[in-house]
């Protein structure tokens, strides 16, 4: 045994001497001979038997420790978690609908560091949930990770899925559409007409899901119109969504998945006058002599239906208690439904003068909002049929006002059979003047037909 040990260590020291000590010594000697005259002393020291033995033992010990530590490192077990790994489900997609499958799982790999590294770099078949052969109903199924490196252990979280399999059914639905991101459409353009490439779609899924579907809509996104100009524009690959009666999305399969839509864009506009409306009463003794503005007409853009009902653009000014000429710089408010106005600001000048007044008689009273299919109306007396209106303003203004320019009315909304005393409302076409009814209330009788 002693001879074998001596032989083993002797061979080892010979290798160390041949491939480590000798090359290093040779290198040192060359350097010393070249740069230092004391090289012979170093050579004498290195040539001693004890020196070589100690150097050999030291290098052997260092080599052993390095190799030994690497072996320990490679043999130690470690673990690494692979987050959010996609689950692949195997089943007959044409015949069934599956619910309860987790979209992702976490995988913990266990093994030594080298094997885990190799396992991460090696291709795998991923997480597989095999439902082949299972019938409709609820099932508890294990999730398996197909890893090619057999020496690495793994765990899957969650390891089991409770899935429900439904028979897939189908039905036909009428397709509607919604326009989304309408605020991105050029304000001078409006959508006149939309034509879909199909008006019928097939929805597929579990029967209970199909029963929830109230409508299917094509979501036409204005952002997908590359060139916005008047004319016909085709939007391709329009997404389809199914909704329940509350507007929630229902998860069903829709065929076709996408359609095309043709949109007719038009530039609808109308030139309308600006109507300056003074609010309030000017200071005592004064009246509005004139109202002028830097613009009198404006171009409004919007849908044809809205523009057809638009008679003017109102601009209100506050004249309460003013006693001298005044200039207003105002922002024009868009009426409801109007997308754009050709101008957004206006300057209004108001001039005052001494106030005068005159009475205009025999203004006929109009009866508004009476249900004429059920009721008839009559005034109690002659004084309840016509009234006198006092008109106040600048003399040059009120002298031009006639009875035809004044409207006196009573609102009978909600009135039924009976005798009533009703308030009279008076308005006039010239807003520079003030109109006051001499008779504030009139008496009427409503009878059933």
Write the pLDDT tens digit of every residue in 77-123: 678 888 888 888 888 888 999 998 888 888 888 887 777 777 777 66
Q: Lowest-confidence range among 100-109, 335-344, 353-362?
A: 100-109
CATH architecture of the domain 358-448 equals: Beta Complex (2.170)
Q: Where are the domains of the chain?
A: 2-75, 77-167, 170-265, 269-354, 358-448
pLDDT in the model for residue 72:
45
Higher-pLDDT residue of 148 and 204 is 204
- Selected residue with higher pLDDT from 49 and 414: 414
> What's the mean per-residue pLDDT of the chain?
85
Whether the per-residue pLDDT at 360 is higher than 90: the answer is: yes
Fold of 77-167: RNA Polymerase Alpha Subunit; Chain A, domain 2 (2.170.120)
Q: What mean pLDDT is predicted for residues 132-139?
A: 89
CB 168 within 8 A of CB 204: yes
| Range name among 9-13, 77-81, 365-369 with the lowest pLDDT average | 9-13
The whole-number average pLDDT for the span 209-214 is 94
If you average pLDDT over residues 414-434, what whole number do you get? 94
The alpha carbon torsion through 199, 200, 204, 206 (nearest 10 deg) reads 90
Fold equal for 170-265 and 269-354:
yes
**Mean pLDDT over residues 260-271, rounded?**
93
> What pLDDT, on the 0 to 100 scale, is given for residue 337?
87
What pLDDT score does 45 carry?
A: 61
pLDDT at 236 over 70: yes
How much is the pTM? 0.57
Q: Order of strands, edge to edge, in the sheet holding 77-90?
A: 144-146, 126-130, 77-90, 104-112, 153-157
Q: Which CATH number fits domain 269-354: 3.40.50.720, 2.170.120.40, 3.40.50.300, 3.90.650.10?
A: 2.170.120.40
Share of the chain above pLDDT 90, in %: 57
Neighbours of 147 (CB within 10 A): 19
Express each pLDDT in 378-409 by its tens digit: 999 988 999 999 999 999 999 999 999 999 99
Which CATH architecture describes the domain 170-265?
A: Beta Complex (2.170)
Q: Does the pLDDT at position 13 exceed 50?
A: yes
Is the per-residue pLDDT at 250 higher than 90? yes
């Amino acid at each position: 045994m002693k001879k074998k040990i001596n032989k083993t260590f002797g061979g080892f020291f010979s290798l160390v001497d041949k491939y480590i000590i000798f090359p290093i010594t040779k290198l040192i000697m060359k350097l010393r001979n070249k740069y230092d005259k004391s090289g012979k002393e170093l050579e004498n020291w290195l040539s001693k038997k004890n020196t070589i033995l100690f150097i050999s033992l030291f290098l052997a010990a260092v080599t052993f420790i390095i190799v030994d530590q690497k072996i320990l490192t490679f043999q130690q077990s470690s673990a690494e978690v692979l987050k959010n790994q996609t689950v692949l489900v195997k089943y007959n997609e044409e015949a069934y609908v599956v619910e309860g499958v987790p979209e992702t799982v976490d995988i913990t790999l266990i093994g030594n560091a080298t094997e885990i590294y190799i396992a991460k770099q090696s291709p795998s078949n991923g997480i597989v949930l095999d439902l082949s052969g299972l019938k409709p109903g609820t099932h508890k199924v294990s999730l398996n990770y197909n890893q090619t490196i057999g020496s690495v252990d793994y765990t899957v979280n969650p390891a089991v899925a409770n899935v429900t399999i439904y028979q897939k059914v189908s039905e036909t639905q009428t397709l509607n559409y919604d326009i989304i991101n309408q605020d991105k459409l050029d304000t001078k353009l409006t959508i006149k007409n939309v034509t879909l490439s199909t008006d019928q779609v097939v929805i597929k899924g579990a029967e209970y899901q199909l029963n929830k579907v109230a409508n299917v809509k094509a979501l036409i996104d204005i952002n997908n119109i590359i060139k916005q100009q008047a004319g016909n524009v085709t939007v391709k690959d329009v997404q389809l969504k199914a909704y329940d009666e509350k507007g929630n999305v229902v998860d069903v399969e829709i065929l076709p998945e996408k359609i095309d839509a043709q949109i007719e864009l038009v530039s609808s506009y109308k030139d309308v006058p600006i109507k300056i409306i003074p609010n309030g009463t000017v200071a005592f003794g004064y009246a509005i002599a004139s109202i002028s503005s830097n613009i009198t007409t404006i171009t409004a853009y919007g849908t044809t239906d809205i523009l057809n009902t638009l008679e003017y653009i109102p601009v209100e000014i506050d004249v309460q208690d003013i006693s001298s000429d005044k200039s207003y710089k105002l922002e024009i408010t868009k009426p409801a439904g109007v997308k754009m106005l050709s101008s957004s600001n206006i300057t209004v000048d108001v001039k005052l003068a001494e106030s005068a007044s005159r009475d205009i008689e025999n203004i006929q009273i109009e009866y508004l909002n009476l249900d004429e299919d059920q009721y008839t109306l009559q005034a109690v007396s002659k004084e309840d049929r016509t009234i006198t209106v006092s008109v106040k303003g600048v003399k040059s203004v009120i002298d031009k006002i006639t009875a035809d320019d004044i409207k006196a009315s009573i609102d009978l909304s909600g009135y039924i059979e009976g005798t009533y005393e009703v308030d009279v409302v008076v308005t006039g076409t010239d807003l520079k003047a003030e109109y006051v009814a001499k008779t504030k209330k009139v008496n009427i009788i409503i009878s059933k037909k």
